[in-house]
Amino acid sequence: MDVPQIEKLISEAIANRPVATAAPLNLYVYNGRVICGARAVMPKNARFISHITPQIVEHGFSESDWKAVVEKALWISKDSSSSPVESGDFKERRREQRLKLGGSVWFNSDGDGRTLRGQLVDVSSSGMAFTCYNNRTIPARGQQITARFSVPFFTPDGVIQERKFTRTAKICRISGPGSYLKRIAVQFAEPLPFRPAEQDHLPDADVTVISSTQS
């Protein structure tokens, strides 16, 4: 797909959004389509693009946000495979499955008081990936960050709990998808106490949970 096609699909998805729900809405890429739906439950292989707020529905995206959303949707549509992350002596071999997530991650570089916000892509017990705006404030590869984020924990009785974490992490890769967005992969200095995508009580249905926003 090219940019005009993506722009058309995004506009159509928002126009065809479900109106019989008060739940917050998101944009996803799913099976080559762009869809707008409630945030709680989506097919597992649906890829999160952006939150759709009532303000966006009424007034549209700002110019910079629109370009970032289009770039991310275009990148997701082309990103059909997951490759191992490698950077010098720093490797993550993906022996563990990753749980695809939507939601926010808040992070800052060591010694830097500025807190930045990114959008989660996926997480394992040893690391995660997220996207953020490409600007001069984002840290460089090899740099350490401190990140705050939430991961869903599924209990035996079917309740989904949000486990909040703060982790020091090392940036092992920074890549596209374009001039407005960068994808950052990190490895945690201390692993999570469970494997998010390999939980005993993960629902059998193809669902993905959108983690809550932290501030």
Q: Does residue 205 form part of some domain?
A: no
Q: Does residue 208 form part of some domain?
A: no
More confident residue, 112 or 183: 183
pLDDT at position 50 over 90:
no
Number of domains in the chain: 2
Instruction: Tell me: do 124 and 36 sit in the same domain.
Output: no
pLDDT at position 107 over 80:
yes
Cα–Cα distance measured from residue 212 to residue 150, given in angstroms and rounded to the nearest whole number? 7
Burial of 193 (0-12, 13-18, 19+ CB in 10 A): exposed
Pull the structure tokens for residue 186.
Answer: 């990190």
pLDDT value of position 110: 62
Instruction: Tell me: do 17 and 49 sit in the same domain.
Output: yes
Q: Does residue 90 form part of some domain?
A: no
The domain spanning residue 118 has which CATH number? 2.40.10.220
Q: Does residue 132 form part of some domain?
A: yes
Q: Does residue 204 form part of some domain?
A: no
Cα–Cα distance measured from residue 129 to residue 81, given in angstroms and rounded to the nearest whole number? 14
pLDDT tens-digit profile of 75-106?
A: 777 764 444 444 443 344 457 888 888 788 99
Instruction: Tell me: do 177 and 124 sit in the same domain.
Output: yes
* Least confident window among 29-38, 152-161, 164-173: 152-161
Instruction: Look at residues 120, 105, 95 and name the one whose alpha carbon lies nearest to residue 165.
Output: 105
Indicate the pTM of the whole model. 0.64
Instruction: Tell me: do 28 and 117 sit in the same domain.
Output: no
Residue 28: φ, ψ to 5°: -135, 155
pLDDT at position 150 over 50:
yes
Q: Does residue 86 form part of some domain?
A: no
End-of-domain residue from the set 78, 113, 136: 78
- The residue segments making up the domain with residue 103 are 96-198
How many Cβ atoms sit within 10 Å of the Cβ of residue 214?
A: 16
Q: Does residue 215 form part of some domain?
A: no
Instruction: Tell me: do 106 and 183 sit in the same domain.
Output: yes
Residue 15: φ, ψ to 5°: -65, -35
Q: Does residue 167 form part of some domain?
A: yes
Share of the chain above pLDDT 90, in %: 19
End-of-domain residue from the set 19, 51, 78: 78
Instruction: Tell me: do 73 and 100 sit in the same domain.
Output: no
End-of-domain residue from the set 24, 52, 78: 78
Q: Is residue 129 very low, low, confident or very high in pLDDT (cuts 50, 70, 90)? A: very high
